Amino acid sequence: MAIVPIYEFPHEVLRKKARKVKKLDKSLDRISQDLVDTMQNAQGVGLAANQIGILKRVIAIQLPEEDPRVYINPEIVDKEGEREVTEACLSVPGYRGTITRSILVKAKAWDRQWRDVLIKAEGLLAQALEHEIDHLNGILYMDHLNQHEKLEKIEPELDQEEVEELN
């Protein structure tokens, strides 16, 4: 499979709503693997198909120390509580912002073997599910900011050689 380009804001595909997947075919295997490969290469926690230009409801999520998961036609069926979190996005590189996400999320989807799965998530998994499902609906985390002034620029970390050159 392949590492493919990630579309960045303000590309129009990021604002389009992805279509439901109606049948399992070989293209779904390729999309799933491309999502996982691209997400891992970018060192992300999640990636939605429309971020790589495919308007199908497919997401990949990989929490630290876990194997990647691919969900087809994911949807949130219930959520509880609220908490403030700092979020960033592979499609909005170099920035982060504080937004409100749910404490607990229940979602349903199909896995890569086309089996129904019910996901009960909290913490980072709940946050990632909300973030990636938002992508499938054409919503970016920036849309959840109370004030756009809260979008912060992330300063890249310098490696040891660069630090020595500055001294």
Catalogue the active-site residues.
132
Q: What is the DSSP string of 35-61?
A: HHHHHHHTT-SEEEGGGGT--BSEEEE
Are 76 and 52 contacting, i.e. CB atoms less than 8 angstroms apart? no
Which residue type occupies 6? I
Quick one: which of 99, 101, 103, 88 has its CA closest to 147? 99
HSE at residue 118, side-chain half, CA atoms within 13 A, is 3
Question: What Å distances lie between residue 84 and 4, 44, 57, 104, 153, CA to CA?
Answer: 32, 20, 26, 13, 18
In what helix (H) or strand (E) does residue 76 lie, and over which residues does it extend? strand 69-80
